[in-house]
Amino acid sequence: MVGKPLKEKYPDLKFYITGKDPDNRIVNAIKENQAKGIELTGFVDNLDIYFQKSKVFISPLRFGSGIKVKVMNALYRGIPTVTTSVGAEGLAVKSGDQIFISDNMADFIHQISLLIEDELLWNQFKLNSRALAKEKYTWDNVLKIVENAIEE
C-alpha cells in the first residue's frame, strides 16, 4: 500500500539521521530536495537527546551483523520501533507485538504512519518493548546465560 510520503502526510515531522559518515546518496538527496525537517547529525556521543525527542525510532538497516545496540536502546526506552529484518537480527522480537519488521518500503512507511496515528498501538508497543527488554536483555539475564554456558 503506497500512500503519501511521510513529510507530505505529516508536515511537522522531524527526522534525525544519526551516525558517522552518512552515505553520499543520503547527503545529496537531502541537499537536492532542500529537505526541511531532516537533520543529519553525524556521529553523536550521547543519543539521549534524540531518544527523548522521538515518538518512533526507525532503523532501516540493509546489512550488518550482531545485536543492534540502537534498536535495543529504543526497546529499553519504550520507543516504538520500525526496522528491517537485518535490524532485528539477534533479537527475540515479534513483528506487530514489540516492534514492526519490514523489508518492503511501502509497508515500512505504513507501519511508521500507524505508530504516529494510533495512540493505542503506540502505547502497546511501548509497554511490550520495555517488558521484553526487562525479561530478556538485562545484565542479570545475560550473565546467567554466560554462567550456564561456562558450567556446561
- 61 found inside a domain: yes
Are β-strands 100-101 and 81-83 bridged in parallel, bridged antiparallel, or unpaired? Answer: parallel
pLDDT of 22 higher than 90: no
- Global pTM reads 0.85
Give CA 63 to chain center in angstroms. Answer: 15
The residue type found at 150 is I
- pLDDT tens per residue across span 115-136: 999 999 999 999 999 999 999 8
Q: Which structural domain, as residue segments, surrounds residue 71?
A: 6-151
Residue 1 is assigned to a structural domain of this protein: no
**Residue 89 belongs to a domain:** yes
Q: Return d(Cα 92, Cα 1) in angstroms, integer.
A: 27
Domain count, the chain: 1
Residue 2 has pLDDT above 50, yes or no: no
CATH number for the domain harbouring residue 59: 3.40.50.2000
Q: Is residue 73 included in any domain, yes or no? A: yes
- Condensed to tens digits (0 to 9), the pLDDT of residues 34-51 reads 667 888 898 999 999 999
In a domain? residue 142:
yes
Q: With 0-12 CB in 10 A as exposed, 13-18 as middle and 19+ as buried, what is 75?
A: buried
For residue 4, which amino acid is it?
Answer: K
